[in-house]
Structure 1
């Protein structure tokens, strides 16, 4: 019974060494008597017991390797602490097994050195603004160097870029100064816009006032012109009537009489308001004439009255 059990265990051991199942996510590197024989893809395979052995197993899925933080110096001599993630994939199991001792550690170290080299080409502000470009440069350099290792570097992502405390303090002051500058510029632009709007309003107000005054003068001029025209027409009509009256019989005498009356009336007003009495010679003669006429009229009236009394 014991011998049967040993025989059964030996058969199972032989089958274990003879049969190999490679999972879907892996490849198996087979050595025959210590020498590379083949890279077995996922599936069912037969091996020669005690001759063939599985030397390496590699995961063919995409792997994510954490790149530890490291100190870098930028182009403007700023100290930065940078960490990231590198994504790799095994493309050739033979090279991944024999081309490098540990491709994972080699990829991480290569990512660190490449990162320091690429950040040294950029200034501090560029490391933040050109992060995508920096990632592409690191991937290109790592992929070129890792080609003999049988792996493919798919991408690299920078997780954190942390300046030193002194740099952070300086950046905070710079940002505060920049915000103050932008605030002052905004306030100055607002004041400028307000002054422009105010001047535009005053300008428009002056234009409106001048337009109103202009229209007022135009209206007054039109009114004055109409008034002058009406007066001129009235004077013309009066002169025409005077001319017609002068053309009639006795018109000239009537005109002379009216002129004399107006002359006497105006002269009387002047004499009433004047402090010195001045009587022109012509006026004295005229007054004497009228006084003589009054005496003649009085004598005539008295004669008429006496004649009527004698007849009675």
Structure 2
């Protein structure tokens, strides 16, 4: 009875150690006497105590490895690229993944370094930003070919960051700022040019309308003068006297309008009560002289024409 209790306890421990659980999306590798025996998937399993052992477990989930590679571009700019590799263990190749490769992270990192340092030196810095997807595709192609043998599937590769040297970034920022200032200046110049053109068009239209208004005004004045002359002719005043009288009348109307404006500082010199009469006499005499000269020139022209005949 004294030895029975320890034996029962030892047997219970062996029984409990015979059962083990594999989690979801995990594969367990079972070895028997140090030699591969089987692969167990998720669930409750039984093994032979002291004979079988769990050599290891591999996750079947998609995993990500971030690799930072420093290299030089075609235009001699040092740049750091962050390449994110998403991979997983192939369910049917758990054996290869566990026994053929001890450190998958190191292997993937080596291939990423090799591909990136082969592709980026062929490109200029600007092309690295533009063609980062091409770099990612080249990395994925190389990794798939190499890692498939070891039971790993490369799901996707992404170039998630491109970090040039700090001095290069400052230079690029200055170039970008200068380009933006240049574009802004061009837009401002275009806006000012449009304003000037539109202002010139508005002024031209204003002048055209103003000239049209002046022409209409003068046309109406001429029509009014013509009607005034006709009215004066009917009462026995000839055209010369009528014209002079109209001019004098306008002269006095102008003086009256100027005098009516209390804020006006305009002074007409010379000016006297006899100015109107003098102006009328001068204009009548001027019209008469003009008519005489016109008649004389007309007669001279007719005499010359008669002589030529």
**Normalising by the residue count of structure 1, what TM-score does the alignment of the two structures yield?**
0.61
Q: Deviations over 1:108-148 (max 9, x none)?
A: 32233233334344432233345455445433432342222
CA contact (8 A) 2:85 2:157 kept: yes
* Bigger-Rg structure (1/2): 1
CA contact (8 A) 1:114 1:142 kept: no
Aligned residues: 236
Shift, 1:170, TM fit? 4.0
1:57 alignment partner in structure 2: 57
Shift, 1:219, TM fit? 2.9
CA contact (8 A) 2:69 2:116 kept: no
Q: Deviations over 1:263-289 (max 9, x none)?
A: xxxxxxx9xxxxxxxxxxxxxxxxxxx
**Normalising by the residue count of structure 2, what TM-score does the alignment of the two structures yield?**
0.61
Q: Secondary structure at the match of 1:112?
A: helix
Which blocks of at least 5 consecutive residues in structure 2 are unaligned?
A: 238-284, 286-309
Distance 1:62 1:188 in 2: 51
Q: Secondary structure at the match of 1:100?
A: coil
1:116 alignment partner in structure 2: 117
CA contact (8 A) 2:89 2:97 kept: yes
Distance 1:170 1:33 in 2: 60
Q: Deviations over 1:71-126 (max 9, x none)?
A: 21223332223344433222232221133233233223223323333434443223
Give runs of aligned pairs for residues 136-155 of structure 1, distance below 5 A. Answer: 136-155=137-156
Which blocks of at least 5 consecutive residues in structure 1 are unaligned?
A: 240-269, 271-312
Q: Secondary structure at the match of 2:75?
A: coil
Cα 1:139–1:2, aligned 2, differ >3 Å: closer, same or farther? Answer: farther
| Equivalent residue for 2:216, pick from 206, 215, 218 | 218
1:77 alignment partner in structure 2: 76
Shift, 1:51, TM fit? 4.4
| Equivalent residue for 1:193, pick from 191, 194, 197 | 191
Are 1:97 and 2:95 an aligned pair? no
1:251 alignment partner in structure 2: none
2:26 alignment partner in structure 1: 26
Distance 2:195 2:52 in 1: 92
Distance 2:80 2:140 in 1: 19
1:206 alignment partner in structure 2: 204
Cα root mean square deviation, aligned = 3.5
Q: Secondary structure at the match of 2:128?
A: helix
CA contact (8 A) 1:26 1:59 kept: yes
Q: Which of structure 1's runs of 4+ aligned residues deviate more than 6 A?
A: 236-239
Give runs of aligned pairs for residues 140-289 of structure 1, distance below 5 A. Answer: 140-158=141-159, 160-164=161-165, 168-229=166-227, 231-232=229-230, 235=233
Cα 1:123–1:210, aligned 2, differ >3 Å: closer, same or farther? Answer: same
Q: Secondary structure at the match of 2:24?
A: coil
Q: Deviations over 1:26-71 (max 9, x none)?
A: 211223455433211111222344544333311223333343x332
CA contact (8 A) 2:80 2:164 kept: yes
